[in-house]
Amino acid sequence: MTGPNEGIGGDAPQAIRKLQPGRLVIASHNSGKVREIAELLGPYGIAPVSAAELDLPEPEETGTSFVANAELKALQAADLSGLPALADDSGLCVEALGNEPGIFSARWAGPARDFNVAMSRVERRLEQLGPETPRDAHFICALALAWPDGHVEWFEGRVDGTLVWPPRGTRGFGYDPVFLPNGEERTFGEMDPAKKHGMSHRADAFRQLVAAVLD
């Protein structure tokens, strides 16, 4: 399995496999994430169907990186559905916390996936480090596109910013209400979805995906 710019054993990069119009499984049970991905795919003749709609199970995320977790989710969905599948693994990396919660961002929200709990946990950890602690953070998004034959392409995006407290805004999902992108006055939770789609970590990864497999 190789990424978009990665060869095997020092060889030249492999040719990118193009995604044809038609049904594509979004390998996620997170409704907010599925909605964002479907909106980003809308202009390209792709008919997204969520893993929840197909009653596909959620695999245990045992990878040690965003890319590894995205790949295992995409591969399982493609294998079980017989369709190409796109998976996203993303998270918040707080630099003063050693880039935690990182790949465990959803787990910090607990079994109920309550991101108010997760955001409060991040804030408590920062407060424990003292008032002068830098609040720099970034979001990472890894996208893995898998086919039923096991072929995978992957793409990774990033957006940098700082954390605010208390949370601001009710748009978006996850940690969006505490993340203020660099150069902006509104958090992702306050921002118009169209503007967020143009600058987020997921948008960055999608730009790479579109250029590689859809254009």
Instruction: Give the model confidence (pLDDT) of 72-110 as tens digits.
Output: 999 999 999 999 999 999 999 999 999 999 999 999 999
Q: Is the separation of the CB atoms in 106 and 112 below 8 Å?
A: no
Asked whether residue 16 is assigned to any structural domain, the reply reads: no
Angstrom distances, CA of residue 132 to CA of 35, 81, 101, 126, 177:
37, 50, 20, 10, 22
Active-site residue among 89, 136, 176, 192? 89
The domain that contains 104 carries what CATH number?
3.90.950.10
Q: Find the helix packing angle between 31-41 and 201-209, rounded to 10°.
A: 40
Q: pLDDT grade, residue 44 (50/70/90)?
A: confident
Instruction: Give the model confidence (pLDDT) of 180-201 as tens digits.
Output: 999 999 999 999 988 998 899 9
Asked whether residue 10 is assigned to any structural domain, the reply reads: no
Number of domains composing the chain:
1
Q: Is the pTM of this model over 0.75?
A: yes
- Told to judge if 160 belongs to the known catalytic residues of this protein, a careful annotator would answer no
Asked whether residue 5 is assigned to any structural domain, the reply reads: no
Asked whether residue 205 is assigned to any structural domain, the reply reads: yes
d(CA 87, CA 210) in angstroms, rounded, equals 15
Asked whether residue 8 is assigned to any structural domain, the reply reads: no
H-helix segments, the chain: 31-41, 66-81, 115-128, 193-199, 201-209
First to last CA, the chain: 22
Say if residue 5's pLDDT is above 50.
no
Among 192, 215, 205, 184, smallest CA distance to 16 is for 215
Asked whether residue 3 is assigned to any structural domain, the reply reads: no
Helix (H) or strand (E) holding 137: strand 136-146
Instruction: Give the model confidence (pLDDT) of 139-178 as tens digits.
Output: 999 999 999 999 999 999 999 999 999 999 999 889 999 9
d(CA 72, CA 198) in angstroms, rounded, equals 27
Q: Which domain, by its residues, includes 43?
A: 22-214
Asked whether residue 144 is assigned to any structural domain, the reply reads: yes
Asked whether residue 13 is assigned to any structural domain, the reply reads: no
Among 116, 44, 103, 43, smallest CA distance to 73 is for 103
